[in-house]
Amino acid sequence: MRRLSTVLMVFVCTVSFSCSGGSSPTAPPVVNPPVVNPPAAPRLDLSPLSEQARAIFIVNNLVEVTGFATKWVGVITVGGAAEVAPFVKTAAIFWNEKIINGLVIEATEVSPKVLITIDAQAFLNQPAHVCATVGSRAIQNNNGIILSADMRVKPSCLGEGGLARTNPDAFTKIIAHEIGHAIGIFGHVPDGLICLMSGQELWPDLAPPTEEFLRFLYSTAVQPGARLQ
């Protein structure tokens, strides 16, 4: 009795986000297929948020998809490539120490939902300094639930003289940054998402409005698929 195929309308958002500790601050425009939402989509009320956090919700979550709140439900497992496993573990701790209700990241190498693969091809058209990217996410169209995401890591960043060896902390932050793209921060926020450059400095942490947005997104106040109405 597999009725799943009748309800799963998955599209893949192919926009690439990347971060190397120095990536471009704006994501390219996204062209998405039309979305068929249920007539009675839950209502999204952004009034509890500060102006900055509200702008992040609208620009980096609603608009980048197709106008509905998009989030994971349940534990988000991340991993895949053994070479990256120690960094994923530390990046997961970074996220989990935020204690955001509803958001749990688990590092795993077995059937992760955010699958990390080592892949040189994904970086052929990227600036030389880019080490990791989230290439796509699968989103259940009719209810805004993120089902999986695809993260690629450039092999040269892991090898001799690569960033993972020369600056493991920065590389860990890049993985944490990419996890941010996988969990609902689509595109870059103006005041830094962990490793986005500010001048020549790595942002050490989530900026407060970004954290406020995520706490709200993953709270029970926001149902996946909710729309501003």
Strand locations in 95-196, DSSP E?
A: 105-107, 114-118, 132-140, 145-153
Interatomic CA distance for residues 203 and 214, integer angstroms: 17
In this structure, are strands 10-13 and 132-140 parallel, antiparallel, or unpaired? antiparallel
Q: Tell the residue number behind the tokens 């009320």, with chain if given.
A: 45
The yes or no reply on residue 151 touching Zn ion (CB under 5 A) is no
Q: Quick one: which of 24, 206, 224 has its CA closest to 100?
A: 206
Residue of 13, 15, 16, 19 that binds Zn ion (CB under 5 A): 19
Binding mask of the shown chain, residues 111 to 140, with x at each position contacting Zn ion by CB under 5 A: ------------------------------
The yes or no reply on residue 216 touching Zn ion (CB under 5 A) is no
Residue closer to Zn ion (CB basis): 48 or 127? 127
- CA contacts within 13 A on the Cβ side of 125: 4
The yes or no reply on residue 17 touching Zn ion (CB under 5 A) is yes
Query: Minimum distance from CB of 89 to Zn ion (Å)?
Result: 20
Work out the number of other CB atoms within 10 angstroms of the CB of residue 119. 16
Residue closer to Zn ion (CB basis): 19 or 176? 19
Q: Which residue is nearest to Zn ion (CB)?
A: 19
The yes or no reply on residue 189 touching Zn ion (CB under 5 A) is no
Residue closer to Zn ion (CB basis): 17 or 203? 17
Residue numbers at the binding site for Zn ion (CB under 5 A): 17, 19
